[in-house]
Amino acid sequence: MPRTLRLADPAPDATIRGNSKRLQWYTLWQVKSGVIYVGTQSLTPPTWRVDVPVNKTMSDNFYELLNRAFVEHADRPCLILPDGGSWSYGQIATLAGKIAQTLRVRGVVAGDRVLVQVEKSPEAVALYLGCLQAAAVYVPINSAYTHEEVAYFVEDAEPSLLVCRRADEAALNVIAPNLSMLTLAADGTGSLMTLALATQPMDGVVPREGSDTAAILYTSGTTGRSKGAMLTNVNLASNALTLIDYWGWQDDDVLLHALPIFHVHGLFVALHCAMLRGTAMIFLPGFDARQIIEWLPSATVMMGVPTFYTRLLEKGEFNAETCRNMRLFISGSAPLTEQTFEAWRQRTGHPILERYGMSETSMNTSNPLDGERVAGTVGFALPGIEVRITNDAGEVLASEEVGGIEVRGPNVFKGYWRMREKSAEEIREDGFFITGDLGVMDGEGRISIVGRAKDLIISGGYNVYPKEVEKLIDEMPGVVESAVIGVPHMDFGEGVVAIVVPVGDDVSEPEVRLSLEGRLARFKQPKIVVNVESLPRNTMGKVQKKALRERYKDLFE
């Protein structure tokens, strides 16, 4: 049973890890000593909540924590599927164990990367869990990426195994003829499952240190090449435990899960909160407003990108009655406008809780569960996480001053995979990570994001790096040069636009799309192409994207 100790009491048999400088809050990730401590000094009175005594033989592999929940809640539903099927925690854990054993038999050892490009399915969840159990580094990539894009990840991650859709197997075999490959289709069939179902589940969990990498999440780089953010067992555990506490996860919560499971949002934030508490998820293959409206009355929590919310508001039949059992709506990955926040509150009675995160850090800040949720802000630094606003020289700014957002805490990744220099550029010596987002903090510590220092477009929650698109458009024979920008888009928040300087005749949108076909995921492709005589430049010769964004801001209206 959870016990509550005063913070002043010595934490029995535990090593304190995490943010030891400020002693504000800790996720004490000390399963080795036999106890997991979650301490909350920021609460009054300050306390350690001693969560659960666990088996003394456990390692710091994050799967130990998950597995404990799976064993405890084996009979409870984990995934409820729209076709009426369901998976209990026991079933998911058994399949994860079989996949872990399959990986072992295939020669995958601790620290080996398993690259995964599959559709969302219960089996895909079990694959993620199986990788954790086997201590393989899970490397998920967007299912929309083309074979050409996948080739980069194969080369960069150097995986021991690639799990892909059956339809992609032949093409990927050409790209990576020596790579071990298994398939997993959206319906849960494929060579991975054939092997796994004929295998006994792995006994136990392959031990890991807290600082060992559990997953690599690729995030776009400014040079156009993706960087692999290495997330450790402590990163995953600390963020999950923090969010469960901060968002008041209830034993009877039911999460409506319609996000993709290759990003931090749908994979870590959503799955971990539900799974560590052994609570059910209504597991939808993707976002479909009609299906969401059908399932919302059975749910208590939904996590989504702002597009989820704007699309639901467009549906006349969506109303407060649809949300009658809902406790919490959470939004993130892209800015939620004040208009959407207000419209949602008026329609449903719920103020959406907006939070802010990144692939490199998982969640950094959140509006409060109980206090005021202020539209247009991303709330406060989460317990145990420090956020500061700095100028270009790295000096901390006073409240209300706009600057770069920097983050430090047990959530911050350990660096980019095989990019030592890039990691050193973005993580300061004192441990603060330079997010590339611009923000402002008020006197109370409430943070608003006001822009981005990085040249990034966020479209429907997906990142698009202009360089990557520009590079390919510039290669077109009829193009002198191009500038790719994001401008306001009703549905996606920002829509990708290419401003093109043609050699002669105008370059049309179908021509651009045709030349990008098979080379670039379709969500990254420009939705509009504008031809101009020349691009505006500053005195240094740099293209003035701000001026272009201003000039074309009404393009999608």
Query: Could you list the residues that contact ligand MCA (CB under 6 A)?
Result: 259-260, 263-266, 286-287, 305, 307, 332-333, 357-359, 459-462, 492, 522-523
Q: Are 231 and 216 in contact (CB under 8 A)?
A: yes
452 binds, among ligand MCA, ligand AMP, none (CB under 5 to 8 A by kind): ligand AMP
219 binds, among ligand AMP, ligand MCA, none (CB under 5 to 8 A by kind): ligand AMP
Nearer to ligand MCA, 193 or 231 (CB): 231
Cα Dmax for the chain: 76
d(CA 535, CA 456): 19
Nearer to ligand MCA, 202 or 512 (CB): 512
- The yes or no reply on residue 406 touching ligand AMP (CB under 6 A) is no
Q: Which residue has the tokens 């799990």?
A: 163
Nearest to 521 by CA among 464, 476, 477, 456: 464
Instruction: Report the residue closest to ligand MCA, judged by CB.
Output: 460
Nearer to ligand AMP, 97 or 460 (CB): 460
Nearer to ligand AMP, 112 or 406 (CB): 406
d(CA 417, CA 437): 22
x/- map, 47-86, ligand AMP, by CB under 6 A: ----------------------------------------
Return the ∠ at Cα 197 (arms to 194 and 200), rounded to 5°. 135
Nearer to ligand MCA, 413 or 432 (CB): 413
335 binds, among ligand MCA, ligand AMP, none (CB under 5 to 8 A by kind): ligand AMP
Q: CA-CA-CA-CA torsion for 327, 333, 334, 335, nearest 10 degrees?
A: 40
Instruction: Report the residue closest to ligand AMP, judged by CB.
Output: 359
Q: Cβ 327 to ligand MCA, closest distance in Å?
A: 20
Q: Cβ 452 to ligand AMP, closest distance in Å?
A: 6
d(CA 136, CA 392): 38
Q: Cβ 266 to ligand MCA, closest distance in Å?
A: 5
Beta bridge partners of 401: none
x/- map, 425-464, ligand AMP, by CB under 6 A: ----------x-x-----------x--x-----x----x-
Nearer to ligand MCA, 522 or 542 (CB): 522
Q: Which of 145, 356, 432, 465 binds ligand AMP (CB under 6 A)?
A: 356
How many helices and strands (H and E) does the chain possess?
16, 28
d(CA 344, CA 121): 30
State both tokens at 139: 């490397």
Q: Which helix H or strand E contains 242, and what residues bound it?
A: helix 233-246
259 binds, among ligand AMP, ligand MCA, none (CB under 5 to 8 A by kind): ligand MCA
Q: CA-CA-CA-CA torsion for 540, 546, 548, 552, nearest 10 degrees?
A: 180
Q: Which of 254, 378, 497, 500 binds ligand AMP (CB under 6 A)?
A: 378
d(CA 137, CA 353): 31
SS3 state of residue 71: helix
State both tokens at 501: 């300087």
Q: Which helix H or strand E contains 40, and what residues bound it?
A: strand 35-40
Q: Select the span of 59-67, 243-251, 327-335, 439-447 touching ligand AMP (CB under 6 A).
A: 327-335
Residues 6+ apart with CB under 8 A from 288: 258
d(CA 103, CA 445): 46
Q: Are 164 and 117 in contact (CB under 8 A)?
A: yes
Q: Which of 64, 354, 386, 406 binds ligand AMP (CB under 6 A)?
A: 354
d(CA 22, CA 18): 10
Residues in 218-257 that interact with ligand AMP by CB under 6 A: 219
d(CA 43, CA 40): 6
d(CA 228, CA 8): 40
d(CA 303, CA 130): 24
- The yes or no reply on residue 466 touching ligand AMP (CB under 6 A) is no
Q: Which residue has the tokens 């202009």?
A: 466
492 binds, among ligand AMP, ligand MCA, none (CB under 5 to 8 A by kind): ligand MCA
- The yes or no reply on residue 258 touching ligand AMP (CB under 6 A) is no
Q: Which of 159, 335, 409, 460 binds ligand AMP (CB under 6 A)?
A: 335
Nearer to ligand AMP, 97 or 415 (CB): 415
435 binds, among ligand AMP, ligand MCA, none (CB under 5 to 8 A by kind): ligand AMP
Nearest to 202 by CA among 335, 98, 339: 98
Residues in 294-323 that interact with ligand AMP by CB under 6 A: none
437 binds, among ligand MCA, ligand AMP, none (CB under 5 to 8 A by kind): ligand AMP
Q: Cβ 501 to ligand AMP, closest distance in Å?
A: 29
354 binds, among ligand MCA, ligand AMP, none (CB under 5 to 8 A by kind): ligand AMP
Residues lying near ligand AMP in the complex (CB under 6 A) are found at 219, 264, 332-335, 354, 356-359, 378, 435, 437, 449, 452, 458, 463
